Chains A and B, each alone.
Chain A
Amino acid sequence: MKKILFYISVLLVSISVSSSAADSIMVQDAWVRSAPPNAKALAAYMKIINTSAEQRALISASSSRFGRVEMHKSEMHEGIMKMIPQKQLTVPAGGSLLLKPMSYHLMLMKPVSVPREGDLVDFDLRFDDGTVLHLRVPVRAAKSGRMMKSHD
């Protein structure tokens, strides 16, 4: 049942993306990492694809489920993991940017209520050319570390 829900939600994501995408910028494989019911911050990951001939930048993101959404990058500095706030996330012309665990991510703060696995979370992603993508992103558990690392 969970699996079916997941596939439906994947389908929903792709539908809402294709209907709103201003053809040059797309989002694939978006997911919100499911978190404990008392989590104070969550993370969303996705692949942002830019098919245009110009560089694009994600300049802000918001969601009705969270009071605040920020762009961050987790980065290792001298053995210490830092979360570095990003003013924007640049997607190269004809290229893509991968938001993934231990790297770029959307940090979702001040949850109205913490979404549960299988829920869909709405997002508005605003880009520097005025494009706004409306997404409905499924919440799911992270795969085991091994599997995610092989996706690099």
Chain B
Amino acid sequence: MDDKERDRNMSVKTGIRNFIMMGVLLLLAGFWLGKSKNSVPDIRELDFPSATVYEIPVPLPRFSLTDDGGQEFNEWNLSRKWTFMFFGYTFCPDVCPTALVDLNDVYNNLLEKGDLIEKKFKVPTQFVFVSVDPGRDTPEDLKEYMNYFNEEFIGVTGASGMIDRLARPMGAAYRRVPGTDDEGDYFIDHSASFLLIDPLGRLRASFPPPHDPGQMADDFRNIRNEFTAECCLPYQDTEQVIFDYRKEKK
């Protein structure tokens, strides 16, 4: 390799280097411009790794179900509480027990830090398991089943039309599929997300599986910090909650 060739190589290298430098600068400029133009990045994704948070909460319809004590459970049972809701059935051997153990971990995480009740507005947290199998899960069955996981958890079921009514706007789909024997047994495929309902009875977030209870509890705290005031501030003196039914079709 003579000197000339080396020079040429050098200048080619310098050229490439300059070219790359320009590229990097342009990219940085692009990022900067992009940032300044779009100064509100999608913080929801960043702030809540375990949850999908609805910027506009989803209002839920009126409904009437029965809790595991035989009492009516309707939209008023969601008012002034944060509610974790899960749709499942007790015949389910794998997914539902896994979910209930995860939910119990979330509960314990909150309990251990004295966090089950939101401190500023004294808004409690409740955990509700909605059985999508009213044909096999009686309220008494549900009580025994829930107590095994956590005595504070509330089992709820009712007419399948009512369950549909509550489940559909939350995207909690479920579907009955025949079992493998000839005795009329069946399984139910169902959504395995935890749904978080705000103190105004609106769907605020969902937590898709696989669930990480520690992360869920942290995300829940952040969601709660951000939105409890919005839900409860105007009503804190009167204990009165006005539900948002505008989108409900009669």
Chain A's closest residue to B216 (CB) is: A145
- Bound CA span A148–B173, Å: 27
- Bound CA span A80–B132, Å: 14
Interface size counted on chain A using CB atoms at 8 A: 34
Contact with B along A18-44 (1 / 0, CB 8 A): 000000000000000101111111110
The answer to whether B101 has its CB under 8 Å from any CB of chain A is yes
Q: Which of A77-116 contact B (CB under 8 A)?
A: 77, 79-83, 85, 101-102, 105, 107-109
Do B209 and A81 have beta carbons less than 8 Å apart?
Answer: yes
Q: Which of B61-97 contact A (CB under 8 A)?
A: 90-95, 97
Do A101 and B105 have beta carbons less than 8 Å apart?
Answer: no
The total of interchain contacts (Cβ-Cβ below 8 angstroms) comes to: 100
A contacts with B: majority SS:
strand
Name the B residues within 8 Å of A63 (CB-CB): none
Distance from B167 Cβ to chain A, minimum over Cβ atoms (Å): 12
Do A33 and B144 have beta carbons less than 8 Å apart?
Answer: no
Do B181 and A39 have beta carbons less than 8 Å apart?
Answer: no
Contact with A along B96-119 (1 / 0, CB 8 A): 011001100100000000000000
Q: Which of B107-162 contact A (CB under 8 A)?
A: 136, 141, 144-145, 147-149
Chain B's closest residue to A142 (CB) is: B101
Classify chain B's interface size.
35 or more
Name the A residues within 8 Å of B148 (CB-CB): 35-37
User: Among B97, B101, B145, B190, which residue has the most Cβ atoms of chain A within 10 A?
Assistant: B97
Do B191 and A145 have beta carbons less than 8 Å apart?
Answer: no
- Tell me which of A38, A39, A77, A83 contacts B187 (CB under 8 A): A83
The answer to whether B213 has its CB under 8 Å from any CB of chain A is yes
Do B98 and A39 have beta carbons less than 8 Å apart?
Answer: no
Known: A36-B147, A81-B191. A43 touches B97 (CB 8 A): yes
Do B212 and A43 have beta carbons less than 8 Å apart?
Answer: no
The answer to whether B221 has its CB under 8 Å from any CB of chain A is no
Name the B residues within 8 Å of A85 (CB-CB): 180
Do A108 and B93 have beta carbons less than 8 Å apart?
Answer: yes
Do A40 and B95 have beta carbons less than 8 Å apart?
Answer: no
Name the A residues within 8 Å of B47 (CB-CB): none
Known: A36-B148, A43-B93, A102-B98. A79 touches B141 (CB 8 A): no
Do B189 and A80 have beta carbons less than 8 Å apart?
Answer: yes
Name the A residues within 8 Å of B102 (CB-CB): 145
- Tell me which of B93, B105, B192 contacts A144 (CB under 8 A): B105
The answer to whether A124 has its CB under 8 Å from any CB of chain B is no
The answer to whether B175 has its CB under 8 Å from any CB of chain A is yes
Known: A79-B173, A81-B192. A145 touches B94 (CB 8 A): no
Do A83 and B189 have beta carbons less than 8 Å apart?
Answer: yes
- Bound CA span A107–B181, Å: 13
Name the A residues within 8 Å of B144 (CB-CB): 36-38
Do A38 and B190 have beta carbons less than 8 Å apart?
Answer: no
Chain B's closest residue to A101 (CB) is: B98
Contact with A along B188-229 (1 / 0, CB 8 A): 011111000000000000001111111000000000000000
- Bound CA span A79–B102, Å: 18
Distance from A40 Cβ to chain B, minimum over Cβ atoms (Å): 5
Known: A37-B148, A81-B189, A142-B101. A107 touches B209 (CB 8 A): no
Q: B residues touching A (Cβ–Cβ < 8 Å)?
A: 90-95, 97-98, 101-102, 105, 136, 141, 144-145, 147-149, 171, 173-175, 177, 180-181, 185, 187, 189-193, 208-214
A-B contact pairs, 10 of them (CB 8 A): A40-B90, A43-B93, A70-B180, A76-B192, A77-B189, A81-B191, A101-B98, A142-B98, A145-B102, A146-B105
